[in-house]
Structure 1
Amino acid sequence: MKKSLKKTLFAGVAALSFVAVAGVSSTNASAKSYAKVTSNKALTTDATTRNVAVNGTNALYTKAGTLKGAKTVATKTTLASLKNSKQGQKNFRAYRVATTNRGSVYYKVVSFDKTYRGWIYGGKSVTAFAGGIASFSTTTAPAAAANTSSSASSASINTQGQTTALTDAQKNATYKITKAGTANDGTATTYSYPAWTEYKKGRTVTDATPYANDTFKVTDQTTRTREGDLWVKIADTNATNGQKINGWIKYSALTAQKPTPAPAPAPIADNQVQVTLHDVYTNKDLGSFLLNKATADLNANVTIAHAVNIDPAADINNSLVALGQAHNVRGYSVSGLTDAQKSANQTAFQSASYGKNVTFNVTSVKGTSLFADKTKVLPGIVANNNNITDGSNGAFSPAGTDYVEVNGTLEQANDLADSIAKLGTLYGSNGQTFSGSSVEKAINDANLGTIYFAKNAAGTILSKDQLNALPANSTVNIVKATLSGVNNAYTVGSNPTFSGQYTLNVKNNVIYDKASTLASQFAK
């Protein structure tokens, strides 16, 4: 009986075992569970912030890798080989993002040369790249150079093989494109960005041959991260050439030009005295001119006195401005001179000789400012007649209350006028005219050539009160505008006119989420 019971139990256990095995087999044979996409959107942030590099930890697929039907575009091994590529063509741009019901994030990316395109795992958050890709800076600031004298000869500058930042001498030099032409290798023409550092950004002109004899000045510099070569942004000095060629090029593609020697000074005849007006503020000569001896003039002192209709024994300092203006030397006064400098002028006047030069001290900083009347600055230069545009949204028309940024400080537009009015290089006599290029240079030299202003989502420029009234976590758009192309002339006077175009081009838009932190964001 026991033997029979054992057989019965054994048979029961065997039957149970069979059922269990059969159950496992049934589970393995069921349909595989796939993820589903719950969101698929185009990325709309600034394209330059979506440059990424692959790292080989995840493969590239035709769709999110966990979706049914996903096929491999590039394996992890293939992508790992691109991680440290020395070619910018292997930079990637992310342009779509998808989220699955499992909480995984996938980005659609494309290599700059379009060899690879597909979806790659990007982590668990849509706020930062992770997983198989990471943010990547396609350009890097070059290492500082050991500076040499800025007066070094251009002919001695070697552009080949340099990867460090430019020296002062190299920045100040004038260049030509060595082999201007059609080659698309960074050496024959310029690019809107250094080649292969931004997706689908290429040459400014396909043939630079018409610019072969033009000379250029360097305005910016950077190093391509992957290649490690130095690129510079150049501007054509030929103002009539349309400036289409302005852009980025390899520094090694340039040849520094030997500076044109200054003309030899005109000889001073025995019946002439040369007058030079020297600005003690800038320590530069403002100009020189020759005065001819009249028949009755006893000496050079008398010739100078007759030029301004004064007594030869008078104080020459009182007549220096009129003397210069009569010979087209302007932009200075004598009110800022010390007693010692005025005394030196009087001594030079009394001892002037024919056949020689006499130098008088003057100062440019105590003259009348081109922007002395700040009420004329904003209506004329900043606001009216579409003189400042943001490049996409029409006229920038501050009414004296809109925020702008100067030297890292968030300011109102009328404060910008105060800053411009302090530009010492734009002081002169009433009626003196400054060229547009000199105005532009003075503003840029004072670091006032870039401003920021705030817009809401509807594109309306926000005033100070509107910004302050925004609730916490409000979204505003900060537009960065950079000075370019001041072409008209400006005249010092009580009612200066600003009738020309003073155009600002937007470089990029940056979104910040708290109006209360705008100033600190600028400081970064």
Structure 2
Amino acid sequence: MRSSFAKSIYVGAAVLGLAGLSAVTTTTASAKSYATAGSYTALTKGQNVLVNGTNAIYSKPGTVKGAKVVASKKTVAKLAASKKSNDTFYAYGTKTTNRGSVYYKIVTMDKKYRGYIYGGKTAGTFAGGIKTTDTLTTAATPARTAGYYLKDVSKNTLWTAPKNTDINAKKVSLYGAAKSDPFTVDKAATKTKEGSLYYHVTDSKDSSISGWIYAGKGYDTTITDNNKQDLGGLSLNIAAATATADNSVNVVYRDGAKTISTTSWVNSPAANTTPTKAGDPVNDSLVDVSGAKLADFVTNNVPANYKASNIASATTGVKFGNTIYVDVTAAATSKVSFVVDGLANDKDVTDAQAKDVAGKLTAGAALTSKDFTATLSPTAKENLSGVKGTQFTATQLNAIVGGITLGNGTKTYYASNGDAYHYTFAITTKDAANTFATDNRLAFPGDTLKASVTATLTHGAATTAASDNSWIA
């Protein structure tokens, strides 16, 4: 019995021994094996790179003990798909693990994400989770290279490189540059991610001042009005100086006691090199950066849908530092519609011929700007606008119709034998006077005015000519 007991003890001990050995062996086999990383080496020359979304970014090489996730694979995938230059990375250092894996130290252009990412197995090459990139793409220089001015440096100023395309890009000091300094373009490039255009410009009066500036859509030779050019931070006109009591006049447009808008006329230092000070008279030799004298500036800046009544008196005897008040009243602008009131044939067109013309006009037909050419004199155009709620006067109506010049019709009509015809138009008269003033005697500014015309059928195909039809209803 003792022998059996003893045998049981040995067997039990053996089992326990094996169990203990098994437990120890299992624990040792599941322990994680970490890599070790060599010393940090700064890249001789940094490199702009893109991530591809296959690898996360860590606080240290990802297989080294203690590495923490800085940006998950999901986040990195979003950065890889981004169309913003600030999500481009800059690689500037490296560590290699004892397993031969190369990790690069990278940072986004906006400094939001910084850490290590796997870069392949060969030091000096970029593979794995990153690839090299050019942040700028060379573009053609503009057709016009000289005569640019900085528009508003608080919004778009000069940079040593377009922002977020170079980790070391910074604003250029404009100390010593005047608003009247012209700049010349010598290079052009687009941001590779966004495609936005930038010009490299140099101050024509101080070559030490140069840099890159956002250029909007760039200079367009098809646009004849330079004021309509989208040039981003550049302008084809000198930027106005900051308004002060020594160089400006404050203009207030008011309707009774209600202020409608305010603006400032600012003397151009480029046009008038003699310094001015508060209290000096504003004479007619002085202009702003657009070349406008004070009275012209006030006229040009009357608020939309208002008419001014005292510009001449308000701009007389003004001194620098003054505030002038321009009285305005709500206004409206009319357009003119044209209706065929009478039909006639030219002297060489018989009634039989006219009858054979297909699709010809009929009495009462409304015409559009596509049916004829016409011009309107500046005086007539001015009289189309009037004080809202105040009826047109006969004088105004006669000034409007007197400034209308009707051209030929723009449509060609054909007879059955193939002969071509067109119409000529004239304002209808009655007893040697036009009917325009009578037809519109009850009209107010803003109403559509009616002009009765006589359409005369004439041999020959129609010809077209450019005309301003913005005033035609």
Q: TM-score range by the shorter chain?
A: 0.3 to 0.5
- Using the size of structure 2 for normalisation, the TM-score is 0.41
Give the structure with higher Rg (CA): 2
Task: Judging by fraction of residues, say which structure has more helix.
Answer: 1
Task: Judging by fraction of residues, say which structure has more strand.
Answer: 2
- Using the size of structure 1 for normalisation, the TM-score is 0.37
